[in-house]
Amino acid sequence: MGGVGSIWAARHLGLGKDVAVKFMSASLAIDPTAIARFHREGALMARIKSPHVAEVHEHGVAEDGLPYIVMELLRGEELSDRLARAGRLPLDETVTLVLELCAGLAAAHALGIIHRDITPEHVFLADVGGRTCAKLLDFGVARGDVDGDGTTLTATGTVVGSLVYMSPEQFFNPKQVDGRSDLWSVAVMAYQALTGAPPFEQKGLEALLSAIRIGAFPLPSERCPDVAPALDAWFLRALSREPSGRYDTAEEMADALRRAAASLQPPAAPGPAGAAGKAG
């Protein structure tokens, strides 16, 4: 976690299970705003009940004064590591990844929680009972309901997130960011998983911002001949420059990809010739 803090594996005696404990960095634990944001992350994640969001058991302050968050202990790897190793993912794995992330986001968005920093480093591919389960991590810059005193912990208009995966509105109109911005980030990761590179990867901030502002990107089928053109329409909508041109909800985006992928499946083989209408 670098300067933000550290994560340790531990045994939770009260729960009788192994857990992960995220401690805030001592250098940040003297900043009231950073402390409040850290506790806010724990509180927001604890509210989201989804198998595709890392579960938070509790959060508080340790005896040495360091804030902590107790989470489920995950075994597996970050999506970033998987992509670095494999380069690309097969279509079925990419579709499953998107569907599971959309399920987690649907649960978060229903509570008014916007992640705002979805990247391959913040997606964990956990081994759950022998199968891979995608889980969203790190809600450190998430936007939720206002605090009890009526204030928010992120300054109005502040740009947050990781550049390559940030939606246009996160750059150019951060006050208007909503759940569709998270969906954009998922679509960028899906594009990268299928083609081996994100849709907007220009070198230098100015060139990257210009590409995102224009909203033009190579169609996946143009970049990789083995990607079916039937998927291009899904990406064109999911990565629309204007939020109003995208899918409105995580459920809608997931269902559209499910149907697009299903259209690529070969038709079922017919039954034995003459079976239909045969007298008994």
Which residues have a catalytic role annotated? 117
Residue 127 pairs with which residues in a beta bridge? Answer: 132
How many residues are present in the chain?
Answer: 280
The torsion angles phi and psi of 86, rounded to 5 degrees, stand at -95, -25
Query: Of 29, 24, 36, 31, nearest to 152 (Cα)?
Result: 36
DSSP 8-class letter at 128: E
The torsion angles phi and psi of 9, rounded to 5 degrees, stand at: -85, 140
Secondary structure (3-state) at 167: coil
Q: How far apart are CA 166 and CA 136, in angstroms?
A: 16
> Within 129-249, where are the H helices?
168-172, 179-195, 205-214, 220-223, 232-238
The H or E element that residue 40 is part of is helix 32-47
Measured distance CA(6)–CA(195) in Å, rounded = 33
- 3-class DSSP assignment, residue 126: strand
Residue with tokens 């009890």, as numbered in its chain:
148
* Cα gap 126→119, rounded to integer Å: 16
Q: Quick one: tokens of 142?
A: 């998430």
Q: Tell me the one-letter amino acid at 92.
A: D
Q: Which residue has the tokens 């989804």?
A: 50
